Each structure stands twice: as structure tokens, then as C-alpha cells.
Amino acid sequence: MIRRIDWYGMEAVEFSKGDYTALLIPSMGANLVRLANTRLGIEILRTPKPEEVENFKVRPHVYGLPLLLPPNRIAGAHFEFEGRSYDFPVTIPAEGAYHHGVIKSQPFVVSKAIESDDEVLIEARFYSNAANDVIFRHLPHEFKCKMIFRLSNAGLEHSVVFFNRSQSAMPIGVGYHTPLNVPFMADSVGDDYRLVLSAGERWLLTDQNLPSDTRTPLEGAFEHLADEGVMPVGHGPISAAFTLAPIEVDGKEYRGAIIRNVRNGHRVFYRVDEKTKYWTVWNNGGEVPWICPEPMSWATNAPNMRDLPDELTGFASIEPNGKWSMTTWLYAE
């Protein structure tokens, strides 16, 4: 099923396949603000309530599947690459940093909506150029961004593809500020849940929330993050950064996050591909019913850490006329 609806004054695309239903808001960064397994009664993503719609318009990054370009912070709101300077507005005055970018609130256009026997495919596009310069003025590369949503009875496959249409290499760092519901089912509470993450090391942050020179093993409050899991909400703030390392889940290698209900065994999986190098985990103080395990293709401030290997920081660029993509999967069991 695919249908266009009015969602609190915004055009939306509602689509369903098998056990899953989803809701896309093209005008707000092609944000998928709802994903649910209706058979299991699992609401995976934080969806704006009626009284939160105005807040969603201002802070889309705390709802749904918000795309970040760049992810997290750029120190000094500035970096240099191949002899070119990239300057951004300071959006966190206390830290002197730029963060999260603005593509998360830019209007995309739905370019494809197709249903087959096996899946629903929705595609949305955004173009950045001198005529549409809200991003171009700071990241002066003409590009096309394509978001692809494939919904089937296996859940959601979500890809973002960037096409560099400029004449020079374009720095590319992408993330998602994804708030997963905790609890994700009725008749459960936050203490019923654990967050498991395919994390390798914790990357300690400075007072400006930038990566420091120190990486440590998982220890203390995060000792069991990659195996038994940690309590995601209700037990204090979490604001931490981690390198990604595969873990074993159900006898197989796994890259991603899992929210597990320890009382009934149901799980939400947020699987990532090899473009994800880094995690930020944030629970907004811990007293909200959601947590953001944020997959990021490059580390916070990666363009200003070129003294470290790109394999560690995830720094990347797209050659002229080239493309770059990143895929994640969301599903429930």
C-alpha cells in the first residue's frame, strides 16, 4: 500500500508491506518519522505526537530517521581540504562549532513510488547548487542526494546516495541521529530494555564534545555494551563516542545496534554497512523514552583530524562525477 496523505499540514507518504508500516515527510529532509511492526506491536522510531509537530519542524533531528550532513560537530566551523577552505556558521556558540548540517530540514521531492509483490520502493531526491544554495554556500559542490526506502516483510532497507556533480573532490561525511523508542512496546517500561552496540573502543571527548587523543577499552558503565548491553534510559545521561567493531549475534557477525526487551525477548535491530565507522550514543539526559545510537561514516570533526588515518576517522571524498552510498537496515523480531 502507498498513499499520499496530509500530515498536520505537511504532505506525507504512508506505505506498508507485510508486517511493517512507515510514514515519510519529504519536505523535512525526507525524514521517515514512523516505522512500526504492526503484527508485533513494536513502534521502532520516535514519531512526533500532535503536540510535538511544531518542535519537529524546529528540531527534526530528534524524530524519525534524520539525515546529518555532516554528522555531529566541525570544530571552529571550518576545515580545509585540497587547498580549499570550507566555512560554516557557528551553531553552538559555547563550543564555537557547527553541527548536524541543514539537509535534515530541506525539502526533497519524491521521484519514485512503486509497489511490487515483495516490497514498496520510495525514492526521494534533493539537489544542491548555486541556485539552491542553503548548503552550497558552505559546501560549494553541486550534488544530488537520493534517499531510497525499501519496505518488505523483512523490514526497512534505507540507502542514501550522493552524486558529486562538481569539478573537484567533495568531502563526504554522513550520519543519522536516529531516536529509537524505549520502550518500543506497550505494557513495558524502560528498565525492561538493554542497548547492545557493535562497539570496539570508547573515544573520549573533550569539553567541547570533540574526539580527544584518548581511546579506551569498553569499561565502567560501558563494560557490557557489546555483549549483554546497558540500560539505555532512566539511569542517567549517556553522551559517548565509540569506534565500530563487529560483534557476534545469534552466531553471526553483526554490525549495528540492538534494543532488546529482556522480559519478552523482542528485539529491534539497527544494522549498518561497512561505511559506518563510528557511533555517537546520546539519550538526552536519560529521562526521555528514546535513545539515539547514531551511525556515522566519519568521526566527529574528521576533516580536522587528517593527521589520523582515514580508516580510523572515516574521512572520505567523492571524485568529480563519482558517487558514494551508505545503507542501513531496521527491523524487529
Which pLDDT tens digit goes with each residue over 69-78? 999 999 999 9
What is the pLDDT averaged over residues 194-222? 96
Three-state secondary-structure class, residue 18: coil
Which pLDDT tens digit goes with each residue over 210-257? 999 999 999 999 999 999 999 999 999 999 999 999 999 999 999 999
Element (H, E) at 290: strand 290-296
Residue 138 burial (CB count, 10 A):
16
Say which residue the cell 548555486 belongs to. 130
- Of the pLDDT bands very low, low, confident and very high (cuts 50, 70, 90), residue 173 is very high
Amino acid at 295: P
Q: Domains plus CATH for the chain? A: 2-332 (2.70.98.10)
Which pLDDT tens digit goes with each residue over 79-121? 999 999 999 999 999 999 999 999 999 999 999 999 999 999 9
Three-state secondary-structure class, residue 310: helix
Residues counted in the chain: 333
Residue 333 CB partners (closer than 8 Å, separation 6+): 40, 266, 267, 269
CA–CA separation, 250 and 62 (whole Å): 30
CA–CA separation, 264 and 275 (whole Å): 32
Which pLDDT tens digit goes with each residue over 29-39? 999 999 999 99
| Cell (9 digits) for 133 | 544554495
First to last CA, the chain: 22
According to DSSP, residue 32 is labeled E
Mean pLDDT of the chain: 97
Amino acid at 168: S
CA–CA separation, 26 and 103 (whole Å): 12
For residue 323, the model assigns a pLDDT of 98
Q: Are 314 and 299 in contact (CB under 8 A)?
A: yes
CA–CA separation, 159 and 32 (whole Å): 12
What are the respective helix, strand and coil percentages of the chain, to the nearest 5? Answer: 10, 45, 45
For residue 68, the model assigns a pLDDT of 97
CA–CA separation, 309 and 113 (whole Å): 40
